[in-house]
Amino acid sequence: TPTETKVRAADGTWLTIRGLDVHSELRLPFADAILGTVRTIATLSGTASVKVPPGTSSGKKLRLRGKGVVGPTGDGGDHYVTIQIDVPGDLDDEARRKLVDLSQHLERLKKKAR
């Protein structure tokens, strides 16, 4: 297995280098994971845009081809971004009601699709 090295990007984000590949995490609010979003992340060479598709689950890995370490022969690794979903824990009554309504609506949609 390749050696693992941790480095800090210019914005303070920790990047883990394994071989020619770079690994990092991206924390998202749960609404962004459901709806999809585009985020800017730190890379070894600066920043890059990451398109997070709608319905992305926590733990999903997104690949940025060619954004890893450049090897001695000019071949490059990739940057893998692992998504972590932030789930709010401090909901007020209105937010809780809306979330229950959304959950019930999604269940009805799932049943219709069968």
CA distances from 76 to 14, 19, 51 (A): 20, 10, 21
Does any domain span residue 108?
no
pLDDT at 88: 87
**12 inside domain:** yes
pLDDT of residue 11: 86
Distance CA 22, CA 49 (A): 15
23 in any annotated domain:
yes
CATH of the domain at 63: 2.60.260.20
Which parts of the chain register pLDDT below 50?
Answer: none
Within a domain: 22: yes
- State the total domains in the chain: 1
Provide the pLDDT for residue 15: 96
In a domain, 97, yes or no: no
pLDDT digits (tens, 9 = 90+) for 89-114: 899 999 999 999 999 999 999 898 88
Domain containing residue 39: 4-89
CA angle 83, 92, 108 (to 5 degrees): 65
Global confidence as pTM? 0.84
Residue 69 gets the label, from left (phi > 0), alpha (psi -120 to 50) or beta, of beta
